[in-house]
Amino acid sequence: MKFVLFNGSPRNQKSNTKILLEHFLRGYNRVNPESVPVSYLANRKLKDDHLTAFRDSNIVIVAFPLYTDSMPGIVKEFFEDIARSGISGSKKMGFIVQSGFPEAIHSIYIERYLEKFTARMKCEYLGTIIKGGVEGIQMMPPFMTRKLFGRFEALGVNFATNFGFSKAIGAKLRRPYKMTAMGRFIFSIVSRTGLTNYYWNSNLKKNNAYDKRFDQPFSRKADS
């Protein structure tokens, strides 16, 4: 069996997707020590190599961040390349979609597309792992990411054993599907303190851009 991973994050080696995949592979390699190649779709000069890696594989996982409610443009281009190549069938395909928004509801719409795309390529669909609230994990202290990384590691262990995603772990990663009434209430209270924007404000201040945060450079007033 030839297993390959595709990292579809435009942030390439600096991506949160890479971090999640590293934990997944740590778990995978605990069961199967064979190295798993990872192709970075942001390296568009290697488009032909990506297609070759896909063609030569039996099992594929494509992982990407949610961009405007679906796959980033570079991932869509990869899907178009696959469809155009005529390579299809006798592969198993799974997906990992991570988002900055905390709720899974944002990603369930692209999940339907991914299942349909897999069927269109006449491949077997392994499912889609959805995980929200991933933006900022590179700034978080270890106690805040321990559970998340542990779950991705367990997902990797399970994948190496069964060549499929664990439904139980997948279900846990999807939480919350939507914010609860209590969650919305707490959010509305906390947002009044400005704490919900802490991540954005700290980066705006670091870049000396805080005072410009509400700029509207394309408003008609700005033109005149």
Partner 1 sequence: MKITILNGDMSQGGSELSRFLEKLVAGISPNHQVSQFPLHTMNLHYCTGCWNCWWKTPGRCSINDDGSEIFNSVINSDFVVFASPLLAGFTSSALKKITDRLIVLLHPYIELNQGECHHRKRYAKYPDFGLLLEMEPDTDQDDLKIVGDLYDRFAINFHSKKRNMWLVNHDNTEDIIDEICFV
Residues that bind partner 1 (CB under 8 A): 9-11, 15, 42, 44, 65, 67-74, 76-77, 79-80, 82-83, 101-103, 105-106, 109-110, 112-113, 116-117, 120, 178-179, 184, 187-188, 191, 196-197, 200, 203-204, 206-207, 209, 212-220
Closest of 5, 112, 122, 134 to residue 61, by C-alpha: 5
- State which residue, 142 or 194, has the beta carbon closest to partner 1: 194
Shortest Å, Cβ 89 to partner 1: 15
Contacts of 184 (CB under 8 A, 6+ apart): none
Shortest Å, Cβ 151 to partner 1: 21
Closest of 6, 5, 115, 1 to residue 58, by C-alpha: 1
Cα dihedral 196/200/203/208 (nearest 10) = -110
Shortest Å, Cβ 66 to partner 1: 10
Q: Is 77 in contact with 42 (CB distance < 8 Å)?
A: no
- State which residue, 34 or 69, has the beta carbon closest to partner 1: 69
Total residues found in the chain within this entry: 224
Shortest Å, Cβ 42 to partner 1: 8
